[in-house]
Structure 1
Amino acid sequence: MSVKRRSLALLVAAAVTVPLGLSAVPAEAHSQKRVVGYYTQWSGYDRNFLVSDLVKNGTAAKLTQLNYAFGFLDPAGNCVSSDPWADYQRPFTAEQSVSGKADEAGQALSGNLNQLKQLKQKFPKLRISISLGGWTGSKYFSDAALTPVSRAASVKSCLDMWLKGNLPGAPAGAVKGVFDGVDLDWEWPASEGNPGNVIRPEDKANFAALVHEYRKQLDKASWPFRGRYNLSAFLPANPTMIDKGFDVPKVFKDLTFGTTQGYDYHGTWEPLTNQQSAIDGPAADPTTPEFSSQVTIDSYLSRGAPRNKLVMGVPFYSHGWTGVTNENHGLFQPATGAAPATFEAGTEDYRYLKAKLSTFNVYRDNKAGFAWLFDGTTFWTWDDPIEMKRKAQYISNRNLGGAMIWSLDGDTPTGELISALHRNLR
């Protein structure tokens, strides 16, 4: 994904003390389905969606896990902040902050990380992980994972920075206690992602080894509470990419859970309009191979992923085309290009698209499990509360581990998408 959107993965052919000041209660000490949401560091810029908005719209109370995206790796494999201002320097006013108190000049920690710390104080059961990589931050993962020495050094760097809280230019330990784990978002081992990424055939074995090194160092840091820190990974939808880059049984043995790409099955990088997050493949889809949540989930289960560790992704945004041929309500039709949008042509957050809903007709394929909007010339994929309910029921019926959201800034001020998702997960 550009760091602004999730990856276009389918373009590829494919005396004992509790450490770090944290509670001894295990991170996964809950019985409900996981509700995992990504909060992006750039949400507070043009989108003006702050951490405090997660409280205001009711999201924070419904999440079990928040992933903060993204931290990067430098060429040496060390963890770095991709935006220090957003992460830990930006001051927040009383109105903007979770606590309702303004940041003060010279305080040890500001920015999103201080807001996340306040969020945890307000919702102590919420677990937060630092997500590493993303579409534009995965360039050096292959180098970092290459040898036992490079893996150990990279993992140590990331835990020192994000869990022990040793941020550059900030007091030692400033971030200590914010994060409960690490989310690996390497896009993609052994497959092309963002142009310029380092890729090697041995990435598959090295990714599994990197995950194991994280598990080993996280458990050492949490001794004697083995498994205290969460370790998750974002995983591709494309079965070809799964086989090229992921030793599924070995990886899941060390992960707390894995989240699947449940979106971007199709988008404006293709000439025809299509679904981006269907549960099953539409019967009339002219494209091959089939991409759907059913295909993705079955691919991981058949390769040995445990159901209770498999968390299915859902989108809080849409893909759109314009200049669409006015046939079949716009579905599977040629288009002239990406539809105009608020921030990026061809991609629109749910909350912004909903404001335009009166100009569109809503269509649903109840058999395949997806919806879309069409006004005669412009087509948008459409994941609304009805489709979130459908996805939650699918997750529950298949006894999967829960749902993952990309990304939380796309919801409305009343949190209607996460509410529909949350109340239908069983």
Structure 2
Amino acid sequence: MSTKTSVRRTRFRSRSVAALTALLLPLAAMVGLASPAAAAASATATYTKKSDWGTGFEGSWTVKNTGTTTLSSWTVEWDFPVGTGVGSAWDATVTKSGTNHYTAKNVGWNGTLNPGASVTFGFNGTGPGGGSATGCKLNGASCDGGGVPGDTAPTAPGTPTASEITNTSAKLSWSAATDDKGIKNYDVLRDGAKIATVTGTTYTNTGLTAGTSYSYSVQARDTADQTGPVSGSVAVKTTGGGTDPGTPPGDQIKLGYFTEWGVYDRNYHVKNLVTSGSASKITHINYSFGNVQGGKCTIGDAYAATDKAYTADQAVDGVADTWDQPLRGNFNQLRKLKAANPDIKVLWSFGGWTWSGGFGDAVKNPAAFAQSCYDLVEDPRWADVFDGIDLDWEYPNACGLSCDTSGPAAMKNMMQAMRAKFGANYLVTAAVTADASSGGKIDATDYAGASQYMNWLNVMTYDFFGAFAAQGPTAPHSPLTSYPGIPQAGFNSADAIAKYKAQGVPAKKLLLGIGFYGRGWTGVTQAAPGGTATGAAPGTYEAGIEDYKVLKNTCPVTGTVGGTAYAKCGSNWWSYDTPATIATKMAWAKTQGLGGAFFWDFTGDTANGELVTAISNGLK
């Protein structure tokens, strides 16, 4: 069982990544207002708020040439409400002037627009007012194309009304807009983002989540492709659902991985969650791992999961297993744990570092794969144990233990099939990369598209650096932020979370990852990060890795960097999180509006659950 312990525990990233490139100079470094180019009468600019995470949002502008001659450049100007601002931007150079006036100019490669062509630029905004951009001008003229002689923009359509509302759909109807040249079509907006374009005055939105609130409005476009003002909005709440199964009432998610193989060498059992006090401080457990092979979800270690007999002193409830009972092992102990702690939800996690190779074949037929997973998770012998499924694919359309070429849509297709099969009342989640380097693993997959079918994403913000680079440089494996001398740009928690938000994943669907272990080197002479090494430091189960419960005593912390801790003891150099650095990370997670935190894994904590306690207290 030591092979499972050492191999499947490891989750480090690929070290071959492209260099990070700067997208935009900070606004504070930009002054002045660019002079608008000559007015282009036959062009429009349309603003969309793509996502909102409470303290900020993602916005985008689309510039379209609706005329018959080529545009050689474009400049968009607008005003935001006080308290709302523009941070980092891409595909345009943005400057601020006056109280809150912004000007965006094309960059060198996207200024030329042929007739009918369009270009989109975007930015991350701050503050709560990202849905309201006023005073828009495009090359000095009206953004709605009102500069076209003899042509006016459409009027606002009537405020939509909702009917035929179900758990997963709602029908919208609205009165027509008017225009001197005629109406071409309507954009349907949900929560400020366009979801459809239709020619009539009705639209049925499907694929919604039960018991969830949405806001809808519509916007007309005339035959010259000018858009008019957005209609009033209607609030719609789908039926059913009850309490969201993914979010504990009034609390944030506190999730821990329970390793199937931990019952062997590590002698860690479900009862340890009780004796350590951790059971009362968590909300969810990911049971890891099931395998993915032959296009199906399959059981991992059947003996540990369903057959291992527990004596009375080992059992959660003090009752010994009998030889003839239909279910024993971890699954039965989890059942007992849930009986004593009914608020805890348990997910069965499939894949992981060692068993991710099967996902590529499985997603060739997502529906069949989802059916196999559902049949296994909902097996009548243990259906009451599990509340959902977690897919730990390391890494879609990128390289981990092996390389995958399924394409950027594979993850989305898989999650869509899982949600369709499991339904709205089951949890569907995934462990995902934290590689925020330019052109890195986050960029390789449509995680935003996948997230619409998921309850949350466990962002694996650890294993950035370690003795897999045997000669160093030494660096903390789980930095919260970047720091001078960090070996790789984009390899830190803050950059990973920011990139997911920019891609369009809601902040509340992102969980921050914490490692309950350290990574270390030996042959190190320099106490501070950045030193050279001769190889991996000795570890109890694997060279270069050691549990927190061991390191806190054998190699106490000597410094902090990037929001995490490091220690030098003799010629060994380790990095790991402590209760103090976890408290800092949890405070940061709350400021970012994240859904909570998760950790890998229970076995690395102390007997009294120091690290679980730090997460629980930090998220209160």
Task: Compute the TM-score of the two structures, normalised by the length of structure 1.
Answer: 0.88
Whole-angstrom CA distance in 1 between matches of 2:553 and 2:319: 32
Gap change, CA 1:356 and 1:144, over 3 Å in 2: same
SS in 2 for 1:216: helix
Gap change, CA 1:115 and 1:25, over 3 Å in 2: farther
Whole-angstrom CA distance in 1 between matches of 2:501 and 2:420: 25
8 Å contact from structure 1 (residues 319, 346) kept in 2:
yes
Amino acid at match of 1:213: A
- Report whether the alignment pairs 1:347 with 2:545: yes
Q: 1:386 aligns with which of 575, 580, 588?
A: 580
Amino acid at match of 1:292: N
8 Å contact from structure 1 (residues 12, 191) kept in 2:
no
Whole-angstrom CA distance in 1 between matches of 2:615 and 2:282: 11
Amino acid at match of 2:503: R
Q: 1:191 aligns with which of 389, 395, 398?
A: 398
Q: Which residues of 2 match residues 168-179 of structure 1 at below 5 A?
A: 173-179=380-386
Gap change, CA 1:177 and 1:413, over 3 Å in 2: same
- Report whether the alignment pairs 1:73 with 2:272: no
Superimposed CA distance per residue, residues 166-217 of structure 1 (whole angstroms, 9 cap, x where no aligned partner): xxxxxxx11121100000101111111113x6x22x4321221110000001
Whole-angstrom CA distance in 1 between matches of 2:613 and 2:511: 18
Q: 1:377 aligns with which of 543, 549, 571?
A: 571
Task: Compute the TM-score of the two structures, normalised by the length of structure 2.
Answer: 0.61
By how many angstroms is 1:95 displaced?
A: 1.0
Gap change, CA 1:12 and 1:72, over 3 Å in 2: farther
8 Å contact from structure 2 (residues 435, 490) kept in 1:
no
8 Å contact from structure 2 (residues 448, 500) kept in 1:
no
By how many angstroms is 1:408 displaced?
A: 1.1
Whole-angstrom CA distance in 1 between matches of 2:11 and 2:477: 13
8 Å contact from structure 1 (residues 138, 188) kept in 2:
yes
Amino acid at match of 2:554: K
Gap change, CA 1:25 and 1:305, over 3 Å in 2: closer
Whole-angstrom CA distance in 2 between matches of 1:361 and 1:66: 29
Whole-angstrom CA distance in 1 between matches of 2:256 and 2:354: 19
Gap change, CA 1:189 and 1:361, over 3 Å in 2: closer
Asked which structure has the greater CA Rg, the reply is 2
SS in 1 for 2:452: helix
Query: 1:400 — aligned with what?
Result: 594
SS in 1 for 2:513: strand
Whole-angstrom CA distance in 1 between matches of 2:326 and 2:314: 18
Query: 1:46 — aligned with what?
Result: 265
- Report whether the alignment pairs 1:251 with 2:450: yes
By how many angstroms is 1:11 displaced?
A: 2.6
8 Å contact from structure 1 (residues 6, 406) kept in 2:
no
Q: 1:106 aligns with which of 306, 312, 324?
A: 324
Gap change, CA 1:86 and 1:79, over 3 Å in 2: same
Amino acid at match of 1:216: A
Amino acid at match of 2:546: E
- Report whether the alignment pairs 1:274 with 2:475: yes
Superimposed CA distance per residue, residues 310-342 of structure 1 (whole angstroms, 9 cap, x where no aligned partner): 101011000011111x23x14211111111111
- Report whether the alignment pairs 1:8 with 2:205: no
Whole-angstrom CA distance in 2 between matches of 1:118 and 1:341: 33
By how many angstroms is 1:361 displaced?
A: 5.2
Amino acid at match of 2:442: I
- Report whether the alignment pairs 1:137 with 2:331: no
8 Å contact from structure 2 (residues 411, 447) kept in 1:
no
- Report whether the alignment pairs 1:151 with 2:366: yes
Whole-angstrom CA distance in 2 between matches of 1:115 and 1:283: 47
By how many angstroms is 1:3 displaced?
A: 4.6
Superimposed CA distance per residue, residues 334-392 of structure 1 (whole angstroms, 9 cap, x where no aligned partner): 111111111111000111222314xx452123xx2111010241101021111111111
Query: 1:288 — aligned with what?
Result: 488
8 Å contact from structure 1 (residues 276, 381) kept in 2:
yes
Runs of at least 4 residues off by over 4 Å: 23-26
8 Å contact from structure 2 (residues 478, 576) kept in 1:
no
Whole-angstrom CA distance in 2 between matches of 1:52 and 1:407: 15
By how many angstroms is 1:12 displaced?
A: 4.5
8 Å contact from structure 1 (residues 388, 417) kept in 2:
yes
- Report whether the alignment pairs 1:30 with 2:257: no
| Structure 2 gaps, min length 5 | 19-240
SS in 1 for 2:542: coil
Amino acid at match of 2:507: R
Quote the sequence identity (%).
34
Query: 1:314 — aligned with what?
Result: 514
By how many angstroms is 1:248 displaced?
A: 2.5
8 Å contact from structure 1 (residues 316, 407) kept in 2:
yes
8 Å contact from structure 1 (residues 3, 137) kept in 2:
no
Q: 2:413 aligns with which of 195, 202, 209?
A: 209
Richer in helix (by share): 1
8 Å contact from structure 1 (residues 25, 228) kept in 2:
no
Whole-angstrom CA distance in 1 between matches of 2:279 and 2:242: 22
8 Å contact from structure 1 (residues 342, 352) kept in 2:
no
Whole-angstrom CA distance in 2 between matches of 1:138 and 1:12: 19
By how many angstroms is 1:157 displaced?
A: 1.0
Q: 1:90 aligns with which of 302, 308, 313?
A: 308
Amino acid at match of 1:190: N
Superimposed CA distance per residue, residues 87-142 of structure 1 (whole angstroms, 9 cap, x where no aligned partner): 11111111111111110001110111111111111110111100010011111111
Amino acid at match of 2:530: F
Aligned residue pairs: how many? 388
SS in 1 for 2:373: helix
- Report whether the alignment pairs 1:336 with 2:534: yes
SS in 2 for 1:9: coil
Amino acid at match of 2:310: F
Richer in strand (by share): 2
Whole-angstrom CA distance in 2 between matches of 1:342 and 1:94: 29
Query: 2:376 — aligned with what?
Result: 161
Superimposed CA distance per residue, residues 257-288 of structure 1 (whole angstroms, 9 cap, x where no aligned partner): 11101100101111211111111112133x23
Query: 2:434 — aligned with what?
Result: 237
| Structure 1 gaps, min length 5 | 15-22, 166-172, 220-226
Superimposed CA distance per residue, residues 4-42 of structure 1 (whole angstroms, 9 cap, x where no aligned partner): 32422233536xxxxxxxx98642352211101100101
